[in-house]
Structure 1
Amino acid sequence: MKNFRKELLLIVLTIFLSVNATSQNKKSSVTESDSKIEKKSKKKKKKKKFKLPDIDLSHWKVTLPVADENGKPIEIDPPEILDFASNEVAKPYMYIDSTAGAIVFYAMPTESKTRNTKYTRSELREQMVPGNNNVNWTFAQGGNLKAKLAMDETTKDSDGKYHRTIIMQIHGRLTNEQRDLIGEDDNNAPPILKIYWDKGKVRVKTKVLKNLNASDTEILHEDAWGDDDGFNFEQEVGFRKFTLEVKVSEGKMVVILNGNEYKVYENIHMRRWGVFENYFKAGNYFQSRDEGSFSKVRFYELEVSH
């Protein structure tokens, strides 16, 4: 009887130890599994998310602040601009910030200046027909430009004030017939709209006719137009993201900041401007020649429609 009890006790003890060992193994396995999951989770958190800007460049060309062998600013048209990220010439001045999901436009003073200006630019120019500057639009046809952007970085002048840059434009253009009519040697016309990042504010400048009674031929000359006094939006954007929208229709131009502050131009100057063709521009047209100065502008979104 004693032997039977001993054997029974031994069996119970063996079963207990076996169950306990299995339980410990399961706990150990769960702990190891949890540890692996935690490590993977931490690795994922450490990895940066890569984002691409929401910008279609198939109808834009870019002008860079560097010159070709003839001293003219280098331009990249579509379709080549679609591969700008791998273009060695473009890389320093137009590149993707994949952590921010933006295209960065970098500009600084160089000797590579476009005609009729002392400043340099890293700036997009709209092309309604890719690769062709001769197809543009009028106010009667209308246009809409919308962007999300931010000033990334800019230097200060000798007074400690930030340098400013033009971030959007509507530029006028003479048709070939208008150019020949007034005896010009190019198709350049004044910009009806310039939008500045100006010391953390958004500033708008437009053109006004010097003589309201000038003929349709006389107003084709650049010197027929002067600058208005300019307009500053109340909101301060600083170095934060903001949205800008420009809506153009016959005799009217509206500029909208962050969807809630408007500047409307609807006057005789807008109506008379209807004689010109136009195209949109966007980027970084840097307004300083100070030594060592520069600015970087980020564009997260950019879209145009007509």
Structure 2
Amino acid sequence: MKIFRKEVFTILILTFLSLNAICQEKTSSVSDLDTKSEKTVKKKKKKRKKVKLPEIDLSHWKVTLPVANENGKPYEIDPPGILDFASNEIARPYMYIDSTKGAIVFYTLPTDSKTANTKYTRSELREQMEPGNNNVNWTFKQGGILKGKISLEEITKDSEGKFHRTIIMQIHGRLTNEQKELIGAKDNNAPPILKIYWDKGKIRVKTKVLKNLNASYEEMLHEEAWGDDDGFNFEQQVDFRKFTLEVRVTDGKMVVILNNNEYKVYENIHMKKWGIFENYFKAGNYFQSRDKGAFAKVNFYELEVEH
């Protein structure tokens, strides 16, 4: 009888240990499955996060591209057509969305398709206050604000091993039709009062100065009445990192701000005299080289205009 109880007890112990091992194995398996499931979900979330779209409303911009249209002039897309630029096969090589970065990429290289009064090509936006109409613009008295978040994606070097440069923002002057007729100009083009360059990893600003401060109204309308200033370099080295630029214009004053902590203020007689012109903002990649094989890619993550 004692032997029988002992055998039963031994069997019960062995059964308990076996069941416990099975439970632990199942628990481990469930735990492993949970861990694998969590990893799968995290991977899916990461993949979803990679798809981004730039925060840019193009309804008041047209684009000029470094490729010719059927008339041999630079190909342009006005609103509302520009809103569908991503599916435009002609535009696709020069203006496209990088959804991993959340940016519109502007790609430019030297071609024979250039706008009037320049030797360089561009993939660049031109502000249109009234969509599709170049004749509605603004003065310094009316004012304006341009804000952008940008990075230089890629740019080639010259024969001396130095990076080429490109213009990423502008304020361009424009003659009214009346001013054009007054001076007998062939078009409405006026000088750019502001050019902002990516120049060897730094942000460089150029503006215009009136050569003769006693010039008459009619004399000031001529392009040759205005010369280039010496230029200004911000201290920060942006290189290929993201940076922000803001341009604020009011009557007789222009302020350029880099990364919200470096300012260049223009408030002088030249800014006051410039008040005779209408203006429009430009943004993108106006590449400053004709070297063979040269090119540049500029990313715009954000772009905003206020008037």
TM-score of the superposition, structure 2-length normalised? 0.93
Aligned to 2:198: 197
**Deviation readout 1:200-227 (Å, 9 max, x if unpaired):** 1111111111111111121111111111
Deviation at 1:70, TM superposition (A): 1.3
Please identify, of 70-79 and 40-49, the stretch whose mean Cα deviation from structure 2 is larger: 40-49
Deviation at 1:35, TM superposition (A): 4.2
RMSD: 2.1
- In structure 2, the residue corresponding to 1:44 is in which secondary structure? helix
Pair 1:34–1:82, CA change in 2 (3 A): same
- In structure 2, the residue corresponding to 1:244 is in which secondary structure? strand
TM-score of the superposition, structure 1-length normalised? 0.93
Q: State the alpha-carbon separation in 2 of the partners of residues 35 and 243 from structure 1.
A: 41
Aligned to 1:288: 289
Aligned to 2:37: 37
Pair 1:21–1:140, CA change in 2 (3 A): same
Q: Read off the aligned partner of 1:284 and give its amino acid letter.
A: N
Aligned to 1:97: 98
**Deviation readout 1:256-296 (Å, 9 max, x if unpaired):** 11111111111111001101100000000000000000001
Q: Read off the aligned partner of 1:263 and give its amino acid letter.
A: K
Q: State the alpha-carbon separation in 2 of the partners of residues 7 and 158 from structure 1.
A: 94
Aligned to 1:84: 85
List runs of 5+ in structure 2 lacking aligned partners.
none
Aligned to 1:149: 150
Aligned to 1:23: 23
- In structure 2, the residue corresponding to 1:269 is in which secondary structure? helix
Identity fraction in percent: 78
The within-5 A match list for 1:1-306 is: 5=5, 9=9, 12=12, 16=16, 19-20=19-20, 23-24=23-24, 26-41=26-41, 43-44=43-44, 47=47, 49-306=50-307
Q: State the alpha-carbon separation in 2 of the partners of residues 247 and 204 from structure 1.
A: 14
- In structure 1, the residue corresponding to 2:279 is in which secondary structure? strand
Please identify, of 138-147 and 78-87, the stretch whose mean Cα deviation from structure 2 is larger: 78-87
Deviation at 1:160, TM superposition (A): 0.9
Please identify, of 59-68 and 217-226, the stretch whose mean Cα deviation from structure 2 is larger: 217-226
**Deviation readout 1:198-256 (Å, 9 max, x if unpaired):** 11111111111111111112111111111111111111111111111100000000111
- In structure 1, the residue corresponding to 2:84 is in which secondary structure? helix
- In structure 1, the residue corresponding to 2:27 is in which secondary structure? helix
Q: State the alpha-carbon separation in 2 of the partners of residues 149 and 115 from structure 1.
A: 27
Q: State the alpha-carbon separation in 1 of the partners of residues 253 and 194 from structure 2.
A: 12
Q: State the alpha-carbon separation in 1 of the partners of residues 188 and 215 from structure 2.
A: 20
Q: State the alpha-carbon separation in 2 of the partners of residues 144 and 186 from structure 1.
A: 26
Please identify, of 281-290 and 176-185, the stretch whose mean Cα deviation from structure 2 is larger: 176-185
Q: State the alpha-carbon separation in 2 of the partners of residues 46 and 227 from structure 1.
A: 49
Deviation at 1:19, TM superposition (A): 4.5
List runs of 5+ in structure 1 lacking aligned partners.
none
Pair 1:31–1:185, CA change in 2 (3 A): same
Please identify, of 71-80 and 6-15, the stretch whose mean Cα deviation from structure 2 is larger: 6-15
